[in-house]
Chains A and B, each alone.
Chain A
C-alpha cells in the first residue's frame, strides 16, 4: 500500500488530512448510501436543496484515503450547483479536481459519483409526490 499512497497527489493528501463537510445533515432533502463492489467500502452523502440548488452537502465514509478525499471533494463541488449541474459531475471530474488518482484507485472515485447520484435520486423520490423540484428544470437521471 505504501507505493499507492506515495502516488497520492498533495491535494488528495490535503483533503484526506482535512476532509471538508464530514458528518450528517439532521433534516436532509436527500441521502445517498452506496457500497463499492470492488473493495467493500461505504459512503453516505446527505444533501440539502433549496430552489433546485444544493445548498449543503455532508458525508460519512468507511474507506481508503482516496475514498475519503473524493468524498470531501465531491461535497465541495456540489455546493451551489443546480441538481442538473450536479448530475453532470463524473468520478473523473472529482479525480481531476484532486489532481488525479493512481489508476488502481480510480474505482474509489466512482463511490463519490454514485453517492451523489443516489442522493439526488432520493431527493427526487421524496419530491415525487409533490411534483417537480421547485420548478427548476426537468431532472432526468
Chain B
C-alpha cells in the first residue's frame, strides 16, 4: 500500500481550507442566531451573511445585492434557467445552450422541454469549444435565454464567453454562464464577461459543500426559485445556511487574494504532466483545448485501454483521478462531452481526468508519471485492441 495518497480530483470537489473551517465554526455554536431575528443573536448572523455576500460579490466584480445564496451549483443552474424561463414565458419559449454543459443545465433544459419550451443544444468543435457564430444562428425571435458554461468540468475547455454574451445581448436575450469550475481559479468578472446570470459553488474553491450563489444582474427578470419567507429578497426562501455562507465568503476572500499566483503554478504543473505523459506513453491524446483550458486540468485518452481499469490501478497505487464528471459515477454511458467532441465510444471509454489544486505538488506529478505508464503497459498487454491501430478523429 502506498504511504501517501495523491488527490488529483479537485474538479470533483476540494478540501475545505483550515482558514475556512475556522471562520465557520463559531456559527455552529456561539453565534447560532437566525439572520431574520431582530435580537442581537439574529443581527450578528445577519451581519455575517452580508459580509460573506460582499466577499463573494467582490470576487466576481458584482454588487452584493446581485448575489443570491443557494444550496450549490446545481441549484444555481436550475434557478437561473427556470427562473428566466418562467418569468419570460409570455415573451418567448426558446433556450439556447451547448451540448457539453453540466447535467445541472442539461437536465434542467430537458425538464423545460417537457413543459413545452424548445431548446437548442449547440455542437462543439474537437476541442469542446462553442462557435459564437452558431449562437448567433440559433437565436430566434422566441429566444429568451442563452446558457453556455464558462469552463467545462470534464475537459477543462474555457469558452469564449465575452463574444457569446455580446451576441446574446445584440439579439436581446439574457445570458447565463455556469462558472462553477472557474470562479476562484481564473479571472471571472461579470462586467468583462458581460453576463446577466452566473452560477458558482463553494466546494470547488475550498469552501464547504451544499452552498453556492447565483449572480443576478440588477434589473434581470427572474421568477423566485424557492417560495416561503422573505429571505434573499424573496427569491430564495428558507433560513440561510449561515455557517456555509460564512465559509463561502472566507473562501472567496482567500481566492481573490491568491488565485493569480495559484493559476500560474497549476498551469505549470499541468503542462509538465501533459508533456511527461506524452513522452512516456504512446497513443495518448490530450482532450480539450491545448491552451484555453483550466489551470489544473489534464484530460487524456489512452488508446486500447479502458478508463475504469486505469482508475482502479491508480487507486491501488494511492492516486485518485476520475474518468470525467463525478456526477456520472457508475454510469456506463461514455461522457456526453467527449461524444460531442467527436470521440468514438471506444476512445471515450479510455479517458482519464487529473485535476490539480492547492495541495498538488511536483512530486505528485512525478508519481503519476512513474505509475501511469506501468499501468497502461500492463493493461495494454491484456488488451485485444493493442495490435489494432485505431484512427483518432
A residues neighboring B (CB under 8 Å): 1-5, 13, 16-17, 19, 22-23, 33, 38-44, 59-65, 67-68, 104, 107
Contacts and interface: CB of A to CB of B under 8 A. Distances in A.
B374 to A, nearest CB: 13
Contacts of B312: 5, 13, 16, 65
Contact of B329 (A1, A17, A23, A67): A1
A39 B349 contact: yes
Given A1-B330, A40-B334, A41-B349, 18 more contacts: A1-B308, A1-B322, A1-B323, A3-B329, A3-B330, A4-B308, A22-B382, A33-B384, A39-B349, A40-B346, A61-B382, A61-B383, A62-B383, A63-B306, A64-B309, A67-B306, A104-B332, A107-B332
Contacts of A67: 306, 309
A63 B312 CA distance: 12
B304 interface: yes
Interface in B63-93: none
A62 B329 contact: no
A68 to B, nearest CB: 6
Given A1-B311, A1-B322, A4-B330, A62 B305 contact: yes
Contacts of A60: 382-384
B150 to A, nearest CB: 26
Contacts of A38: 332
What interface size band does chain B fall in?
A: 20 to 34
B329 A2 contact: yes
Nearest to B311: A1
**Residue in A42, A59, A65 whose Cβ sees the most chain B Cβ within 10 Å:** A65
Contacts of A1: 307-308, 311, 322-323, 329-330
B287 to A, nearest CB: 17
A127 B330 CA distance: 42
Nearest to A59: B382
B316 interface: yes
A94 B97 CA distance: 45
Nearest to A68: B309
Contact of A44 (B322, B323, B384): B384
Contacts of B330: 1, 3-4, 104
A73 B305 CA distance: 20
A65 B309 contact: yes
B38 interface: no
Top 9 nearest A-B pairs (CB, nearest first) are A64-B308, A60-B384, A44-B384, A22-B382, A62-B383, A65-B312, A40-B345, A4-B330, A39-B332
A118 to B, nearest CB: 13
B315 interface: yes
Interface of B: 304-309, 311-312, 315-316, 322-323, 326, 329-330, 332, 334, 345-346, 349, 381-385
B299 to A, nearest CB: 15
Given A1-B330, A2-B329, A104-B332, A68 B349 contact: no
Contact of B308 (A33, A43, A65): A65
A13 B1 CA distance: 14
Contacts of B306: 41, 62-64, 67
B224 to A, nearest CB: 35
Contacts of B308: 1, 4-5, 64-65
A62 B316 CA distance: 19
A64 B309 CA distance: 5
A60 B383 CA distance: 5
A59 B308 CA distance: 19
Contacts of A63: 306, 309
A97 to B, nearest CB: 19
A101 to B, nearest CB: 13
**Residue in A16, A22, A40 whose Cβ sees the most chain B Cβ within 10 Å:** A40
Nearest to B332: A39
Contact of B384 (A62, A68, A104): A62
**Residue in B323, B326, B334, B349 whose Cβ sees the most chain A Cβ within 10 Å:** B349
14 contacts: A1-B307, A1-B322, A2-B326, A2-B329, A13-B312, A40-B345, A42-B384, A60-B382, A60-B384, A62-B304, A62-B383, A64-B309, A65-B309, A68-B309
Contact of A22 (B304, B332, B381): B381
Contacts of A22: 381-382
A22 B383 CA distance: 9
Nearest to A102: B330
A45 to B, nearest CB: 10
